Structure 1
Amino acid sequence: LRPRREMRGPLGLFFRGFNRVFERVMGGYLNGSRFLIRKAAFAILLLLGAAAVSGLLGIRLPGGFVPEEDQGYIFVNVQLPMAASLDRTAAVNDKLDAIFKTQPGIKYYTGVAGFSLLSLVTTTYNSFYFITLDDWDARHKHGLTANVIIRQLNQKLAGVAEAQVFAFSPPAIPGIGTSGGVTFILEDRSGKDPAFLAENTENFLAAARKRPEFARLFTTLLPSVPQFFADVDRDKVLKQGINLSSVYQALQAFLGGAFVNYFNQYGRVWQVYVQAEGEFRTHADNVGRFYVRNAAGQPVPLSTLVRMREVNGPEFTTRFNEYRAAQINGLLAPGFSTRQGMQALEEVFAQTMSRDMGFDYSGMSFQEQVASQGVPASAVIGFSVLVVFLLMAALYESWTLPFAVLLATPIAMFGALGALWLRGFELDVFSQIGMLMVIGLAAKNAILIVEFAKVAYEGGMSLFDAALEGVRVRRRALFMTSFAFILGCVPLWTAAGAGAVGRQVLGTVVIGGMLTDTLIASLFISVSFYVSERFRRASPRVTARAVSAPAAISGGAGDEPPAGGSRP
């Protein structure tokens, strides 16, 4: 090959300086590996300590499922006093509109009076807002993330005295549930009346609101709403020869509404309902304005057959798994995960509820509960390590040499979990995927050194020198490829926009694990190779093979006959 000429100029000066500094650093790594090989027992203890610390970090990190992202929109729920009129709800909405217009980061909003997204029930004293936020680029300059806007809005909405108003985030996966946080279902499994469920729900919320895991807890249960009860005097109805069903139909049609039929117009299907005008059904006394006919065909006012009286009762009844239930939504305080929130509610349930009560989860919380009851993350990580071990055993045809590849993995896991802890992230699905990547990448880095050390050892070098030879030959390639990968993952670390949290978690795990694997674990790879080969040589099954000299060949092309024989 043509000899390379030395690069000149500023670029050549930079490369020569870089190589000098890099060689000094690599020389320090080589000296460190030499020291750790001589103190192999101490090095193994350090590896065991890293594994123990990694396990403790994994236990201390808050668990989660899917992180809540800034999806570009938020929800607002409005709850007025029980049985408040729709006019009062509309007046509160006008007040809220003025607040939303002055809130930075809101692009536009849509309000629905008379509907609650949390309970999916139509009432006159509920309202719901769908708020669309500004584009990412416009909000990112001012640090207006969805969580920041929710906090600012809730501070302003706390001053609305006419209703309970709060903003909350949508579910992490759209379509699974109606809100973020925790969705807890409190069930009455004894089959008692609604008052029993309402009393237990009140006691449960009073205890749960004392927990620091939640910023807000609320329920969709409306157990005591002012209502009118139509008490039909059946005996009087039958004495006058009136059909009982006609009385109920008249009450429904005039005071509520009755479906008649469909008709087609303008290419659409329309529904026909019959109902009294609003001015004739605003008071309970108006029931006397409605009539039914008796057996003689004479009109009879409903006021003579029906007595209207005021009662209190539930607005609606929620059934979950066939039990009467109360839905409880919990918005988490900063620094707490959904797993911690679920554990807190379960602890409160165990402390306050009787055996007649039960609980379940809905929405994203149900998905997280099902995932937690399946194969745990520790089993998945352990199985991935086992697969790597078996592949290495097949590659090297040895049961001990794969330990040289895997013994440095706990240090990489320590870096991954430590980075999660420092940035305050949860141990969720994205972090588990990142840890599986770190295990594979750490094994790849170890293979680069172990392969060359194995070749050098089989070539006649001593075990000590062969372990250092692998570090000396492959240390530059290991550092260059690892840092190229780490720099390529920096955009994940600093991600912004839609799905930013998931990318940040993944980038944090991978960068933290690869940094510790490259800077620290690479010192221990030669030690693990040295120790594994020492154990392999000490194994009673490993015996030296005697190399026999090749047997002499009789005959040949020479003139002399072979000893003790004659030429044919």
Structure 2
Amino acid sequence: MLSRIFIDRPIFAWVIAIIIMLGGVGAILGLPIAQYPDVAPPQVTVRATFPGANAQTIQNSVTQVVEQSLTGIDGLLYFSSSSSSRGSVTITVTFAKGTDPDIAQVQVQNQVQQSISRLPQQVQQQGLVVRKSNPDNLLIVGVYDETDKMTNQDVSDYLVSNLQDPLGRIPGIGDSNVFGAQYAMRIWLNPNKLAAVQLIPSDVTGAIQAQNTEVAAGELGGQPQPDTQMLNATVTAQSRLQTPEQFANIILKTQSDGATVKLKDVARIELGAENYNARSRVNRHPGAGIAVLLAPGADALKTAELVKAYITQQAKSFPPGLKFAYANDTTDFIKLSIEEVVKTLIEAIILVVIVMFVFLQSWRATLIPAIAVPVVLLGTLGVFYLAGFSINTLTLFGMVLAIGLLVDDAIVVVENVERLMEEDPELSPRDATVKSMDEITVALIAIALVLSAVFLPMAFFGGSTGVIYRQFSVTMVAAMMLSVLVALVLSPALTTTLLKQKKTDENGEPEQSWGERKFPKTSRLFRRAGDKFNTTFDRGVEKYTGAVKAVVARKWLFLLIYAGIVALLAVLFLRLPTGFLPTEDQGAGIVQFQLPAGATQGRTFALQKQIENYYFENEGKNVRTMFTVSGGGGGGASGQNTGQGFVSFAPWDDRKGKENNADAITGRASAAFQGFRDAQVYSLVPPAVRG
């Protein structure tokens, strides 16, 4: 018998339990934390830029060429592409769930390399960017000038130059997108002046490329050299041009009479934004935003903490007037969800211990199943680590449900030992434990197998649904198996050590325990409460027995009632609305707006300001931060007539009542936006599963 080994060697049982607990503690430190399991399939994005090309041109010359190379990739499900009139293309390659994102990125990179030689020269010069990331934002950091002295182009250039690359190097970051563009040298050609000197734009482009370049000028006194050479020096030539004045003096043409035509003669040169596609605002001030995307499998909370720490550190060196705010922070809701489930878990543990004490009415007997709880829970966390799971609401929910089941096995052991000692007072705790385990070992294993058979099939579901059910199923099965292991290994050793044989005094009365001698009043109080509970419980058992007899006597009537309940259940099951996961108040909202085709950015910007004014004037107490952008940018909607916004609501404690939850706020906003002329404005809440 397995349990006999640990009954005789209780220290060995404790060592095994401690090893299981240490494994669980180590797993806690290494497990990522998320709201839900990683349901979204891995994605790899390919980005290219063709300056000056329209959507049809980039579709024919770039998008189709790259798409034709995406064949023969392992695990590829499908790919989608978006070619914009701004000269950019994004191809999203989606892989089957379970595909290694790193391998997928390498395979896409290798396939794309084959098509580079067939792309236009301008695209090759810009390069193709291949990255793996989740298709949803972890954070959106909004930076704005509260003095309104800077433009959104100034702020976006600061983000690109100072924050984007360092943020991309933080562990856990998959990608980052800036809503805006950095500075560039803008050269505005005058066609009349070009025609006057018989030049075309390609002549200007060629002259700029030839004269704005890095030149390796060599060195003086390099080897081989004569012995009389006394100096060795590296020759430094003029590097790339930096200022508008330097660009203005680029020579475009030399006339036959020796006169030169310079760039400033045919163009206006200034330092401006690389593009003016986006106009963004933060809290009704000029600003820009940077969207941070999580790498597949990364810890959302840990990554967000690193990003926030870096932003806080860099904010100390911001130019005067610049402030930052988080327009979209998904980790706030993750923290709240995990905290609530952990609170429920702790409450469940406390309630289980109280119930055990009420029924067992012995602190020694209660302690045995109570010790099993942390051992099994920590062991289950170790199984999470081995299975590659995360600490999320579903796995914690499975642990909450498992608490009531995992103590059953230990209670069965304690109850049976106490029964044997009650029937035979001469029996020692050790002998009673040995006899008890002989009787119930098979039953304990059978119970675990039956319960596991209920949950185990869910572990083999496929697709995104299978990912959710699999983690819940494995949590329950792991807890059940560990519960039986503890009941066979640790609980017998504890019963042998903790339970005491009942002794009687000279009058045949049970001897008082240490607690009864030291705290007589408290002991009497507990004894009276226990007697009262037992009396009430016995009366309840008698009433239940009578009710069962009545049901058996009228079995056909109650079978008919049961059939009616089953039929009602089937009707309700078919009529209730269905959904993947319930929508919750995540403390954020999304706004998407669009004007008719052909509308200019100026009209879209006016609509953008109207939307901002509504939120801050009508929902000011519920809005903490709002970031809006018209004209696209950041990987979002593209076109002068489109825009989007991200609203961070006030903390949940400051938004009491149903009228202030996310659904109510977005519902009121949608109703108000219906009155906007020629505009389609949608106010939405984020989906339950991000990505």
What SS is found at the alignment partner of 2:86? strand
Q: Evaluate the alpha carbon distance shift between residue 400 and residue 82 of structure 1 in structure 2; reply closer, same or farther with a 3 A threshold.
A: farther
Q: Shift of residue 526 of structure 1? A: 2.8
Amino acid at match of 2:293: G
Could you tell me which residue of structure 1 aligns to residue 30 of structure 2?
A: 60
Q: For 1:88-237, what aligned pairs fall within 5 Å after superposition?
A: 88-90=57-59, 91-100=61-70, 103=73, 106=76, 109-114=79-84, 123-129=85-91, 149=104, 152-157=107-112, 160=116, 161=124, 162=126, 164-166=128-130, 179-180=135-136, 182-188=138-144, 190-191=146-147, 193=150, 194=152, 195-224=154-183
Per-residue deviation, residues 548-568 of structure 1 (Å, max 9, x unmatched) = xxxxxxxxxxxxxxxxxxxxx
Q: Shift of residue 477 of structure 1? A: 0.7
Amino acid at match of 2:111: K
Amino acid at match of 1:64: A
Residue 449 of structure 1, aligned match among 381, 389, 413: 413
What SS is found at the alignment partner of 2:278? coil
Could you tell me which residue of structure 2 aligns to residue 517 of structure 1?
A: 483
1:539 aligns with 2:502: no
Work out the CA distance in 2 between the residues paired with 1:43 and 1:104: 48
Q: For 1:499-514, what aligned pairs fall within 5 Å after superposition?
A: 499-514=465-480
Q: Shift of residue 479 of structure 1? A: 0.9
TM-score normalised over the length of structure 2 = 0.51
1:28 aligns with 2:10: no
Asked if the contact 1:408–1:528 (Cα under 8 Å) also holds between the matched residues in 2, the reply is no
1:528 aligns with 2:484: no
Q: Shift of residue 476 of structure 1? A: 0.9
1:337 aligns with 2:313: no
Q: Evaluate the alpha carbon distance shift between residue 190 and residue 399 of structure 1 in structure 2; reply closer, same or farther with a 3 A threshold.
A: farther
Could you tell me which residue of structure 2 aligns to residue 327 of structure 1?
A: 290
Amino acid at match of 1:337: D
Residue 470 of structure 1, aligned match among 417, 433, 436: 436
Per-residue deviation, residues 212-240 of structure 1 (Å, max 9, x unmatched) = 433444434324478899xxxxxxxxxxx
Residue 326 of structure 2, aligned match among 360, 365, 379: 360
Work out the CA distance in 2 between the residues paired with 1:180 and 1:418: 29
Asked if the contact 2:187–2:269 (Cα under 8 Å) also holds between the matched residues in 1, the reply is yes
Per-residue deviation, residues 41-97 of structure 1 (Å, max 9, x unmatched) = x866765675455334323322222232255x9574635166554455222112222
Could you tell me which residue of structure 1 aligns to residue 581 of structure 2?
A: none
Q: Shift of residue 438 of structure 1? A: 3.5
Work out the CA distance in 1 between the residues paired with 2:327 and 2:363: 46
Work out the CA distance in 1 between the residues paired with 2:143 and 2:164: 14
Asked if the contact 1:111–1:130 (Cα under 8 Å) also holds between the matched residues in 2, the reply is yes
1:406 aligns with 2:370: yes
Q: Evaluate the alpha carbon distance shift between residue 50 and residue 28 of structure 1 in structure 2; reply closer, same or farther with a 3 A threshold.
A: closer
Asked if the contact 2:342–2:396 (Cα under 8 Å) also holds between the matched residues in 1, the reply is no
Asked if the contact 2:430–2:496 (Cα under 8 Å) also holds between the matched residues in 1, the reply is yes
Residue 437 of structure 1, aligned match among 392, 396, 401: 401
Could you tell me which residue of structure 1 aligns to residue 49 of structure 2?
A: 80
Q: Shift of residue 427 of structure 1? A: 1.6
Q: For 1:251-262, what aligned pairs fall within 5 Å after superposition?
A: none
Amino acid at match of 1:420: F
1:381 aligns with 2:345: yes
Q: Shift of residue 331 of structure 1? A: 4.3
Amino acid at match of 1:30: R
What SS is found at the alignment partner of 1:182? strand
1:483 aligns with 2:449: yes
Q: Evaluate the alpha carbon distance shift between residue 361 and residue 387 of structure 1 in structure 2; reply closer, same or farther with a 3 A threshold.
A: farther
Work out the CA distance in 1 between the residues paired with 2:436 and 2:9: 15
Asked if the contact 2:76–2:93 (Cα under 8 Å) also holds between the matched residues in 1, the reply is yes
Could you tell me which residue of structure 2 aligns to residue 287 of structure 1?
A: none
Q: Evaluate the alpha carbon distance shift between residue 353 and residue 155 of structure 1 in structure 2; reply closer, same or farther with a 3 A threshold.
A: farther
What SS is found at the alignment partner of 1:522? helix
Could you tell me which residue of structure 2 aligns to residue 283 of structure 1?
A: none
Could you tell me which residue of structure 2 aligns to residue 428 of structure 1?
A: 392
Work out the CA distance in 2 between the residues paired with 1:198 and 1:450: 70
Per-residue deviation, residues 521-547 of structure 1 (Å, max 9, x unmatched) = 53211343455545994322458x9xx
- Please list every run of 5 or more consecutive structure 1 residues that lacks an aligned counterpart in the other structure: 1-26, 115-122, 134-138, 171-178, 230-306, 546-568
What SS is found at the alignment partner of 1:379? helix
Q: Shift of residue 378 of structure 1? A: 4.0
Work out the CA distance in 2 between the residues paired with 1:433 and 1:53: 21
1:346 aligns with 2:308: yes
Q: Shift of residue 180 of structure 1? A: 3.5
Asked if the contact 2:185–2:269 (Cα under 8 Å) also holds between the matched residues in 1, the reply is no
Asked if the contact 1:407–1:528 (Cα under 8 Å) also holds between the matched residues in 2, the reply is no
Asked if the contact 1:419–1:512 (Cα under 8 Å) also holds between the matched residues in 2, the reply is yes
Once structures 1 and 2 are overlaid, which stretch shifts more, 507-516 or 79-88?
79-88
What SS is found at the alignment partner of 1:336? coil
Amino acid at match of 1:214: I
Per-residue deviation, residues 466-496 of structure 1 (Å, max 9, x unmatched) = 3444323221111122134345544445554
Work out the CA distance in 1 between the residues paired with 2:145 and 2:345: 39
What SS is found at the alignment partner of 1:156? helix
What SS is found at the alignment partner of 2:464? coil
Work out the CA distance in 1 between the residues paired with 2:52 and 2:481: 61
Per-residue deviation, residues 274-320 of structure 1 (Å, max 9, x unmatched) = xxxxxxxxxxxxxxxxxxxxxxxxxxxxxxxxx99977334213345
1:316 aligns with 2:292: no
Q: Shift of residue 370 of structure 1? A: 2.0
Per-residue deviation, residues 342-399 of structure 1 (Å, max 9, x unmatched) = 233223223333274434263xxx3432230462554332222112112222333445
Amino acid at match of 2:34: G
Work out the CA distance in 1 between the residues paired with 2:356 and 2:3: 25
Q: Evaluate the alpha carbon distance shift between residue 83 and residue 331 of structure 1 in structure 2; reply closer, same or farther with a 3 A threshold.
A: farther
Work out the CA distance in 1 between the residues paired with 2:93 and 2:171: 28
Q: Evaluate the alpha carbon distance shift between residue 508 and residue 148 of structure 1 in structure 2; reply closer, same or farther with a 3 A threshold.
A: farther
Work out the CA distance in 1 between the residues paired with 2:370 and 2:293: 42
Identity of aligned residues (%): 14
Per-residue deviation, residues 153-206 of structure 1 (Å, max 9, x unmatched) = 244346753554446566xxxxxxxx2463432433645523244314432222
Asked if the contact 1:214–1:332 (Cα under 8 Å) also holds between the matched residues in 2, the reply is yes
What SS is found at the alignment partner of 1:458? helix
Work out the CA distance in 2 between the residues paired with 1:521 and 1:341: 40
Q: Shift of residue 443 of structure 1? A: 0.9
Amino acid at match of 2:7: S
- Please list every run of 5 or more consecutive structure 2 residues that lacks an aligned counterpart in the other structure: 117-123, 189-266, 502-511, 528-691
Work out the CA distance in 1 between the residues paired with 2:111 and 2:179: 23
Q: Evaluate the alpha carbon distance shift between residue 348 and residue 458 of structure 1 in structure 2; reply closer, same or farther with a 3 A threshold.
A: same
Work out the CA distance in 2 between the residues paired with 1:101 and 1:473: 63
What SS is found at the alignment partner of 2:391? coil
1:370 aligns with 2:339: no
Larger radius of gyration: 1
Amino acid at match of 1:360: Y
